[in-house]
Structure 1
């Protein structure tokens, strides 16, 4: 009975596969939005100001960071929680694939969120006159919460890894 339950629980990891396929579909949607934004950006080039150019580029960078975040979650999430991808010999396989554990995934997620939040703040600062000071204040506070959360998460992981290292050093062989 125990073995049957354990096998069932282990097989339940495959319920995550449709979620990763859904994230891949979300990546297609982001590519579509990126292309639409790129076309819109190119169409205003003749009348573009410096601010328009910077804001347009920041919007494209923002979308590409979100797409990178999705790829990291799809690849590492699938490999950590569902099954290993048998692509070791593939020439285009990213170097980090298969090496991003759950701890590293959390840090990459937070770092991406902080970067995306920073880009949004930069866009606001480029056109600060169109925003209410209270909105800007809340955006800065939220960004700082993301930054502090990332630093605390990285610190907790460092402490946990450091504690493991110390434990293994103290263990007699």
Structure 2
């Protein structure tokens, strides 16, 4: 009975596979947004101010970071919770694949979120006239919370790793 229960529990990890496939499909959303933003930027390039070009570029960078974040979750999540991705001999294999554990994934995720938040904050500051003081304050507070969360996560992982090494 124990073996059967353990087999079912172990096999249940495959229930996550459709979620990761869904995220692969969801990658089409930032791609579509990127193409749209790029098209708009190119079409208005002749009449755009440097300020508008910078904001357009920040939008493109933001969408790229979001797509990177989704891809990172797909690869690391699948490899950590479902199964190893068998592309070890492929010449395009990413160096970090198979090496990012759950703690590493958390740190990469928070770093990406901080970067995305930072870009959003920069966009708000560049268009300061479009935002109220209250909106700018809350955007800044939220960004600081993301940064502090990242620092605290990194500190917790560092302390956990240090305690683990001392225990052995």
Q: TM-score, with normalisation over the residues of structure 2?
A: 0.99
Q: How many aligned positions are there?
A: 168
Give the deviation of 1:77 after TM superposition: 0.3
Within the alignment, does 1:138 sit opposite 2:138 as a pair? yes
Within the alignment, does 1:126 sit opposite 2:130 as a pair? no
The SS at the match of 2:21 is: helix
Alignment match, 2:58: 58
2-structure distance, mates of 1:93, 1:137 = 42
2-structure distance, mates of 1:159, 1:83 = 29
Give the deviation of 1:118 after TM superposition: 0.2
1-structure distance, mates of 2:153, 2:108 = 11
The SS at the match of 1:47 is: coil
Alignment match, 2:42: 42
Alignment match, 1:114: 114
Displacement over 3 Å in runs of 4+: none
2-structure distance, mates of 1:121, 1:156 = 27
Within the alignment, does 1:95 sit opposite 2:123 as a pair? no
Give the deviation of 1:101 after TM superposition: 0.4
Alignment match, 1:153: 153
1-structure distance, mates of 2:29, 2:92 = 23
Give the deviation of 1:165 after TM superposition: 1.1
Q: TM-score, with normalisation over the residues of structure 1?
A: 0.96
2-structure distance, mates of 1:153, 1:58 = 27
Alignment match, 1:171: none
- Structure 1: tracts of 5 or more residues without a match: 169-173
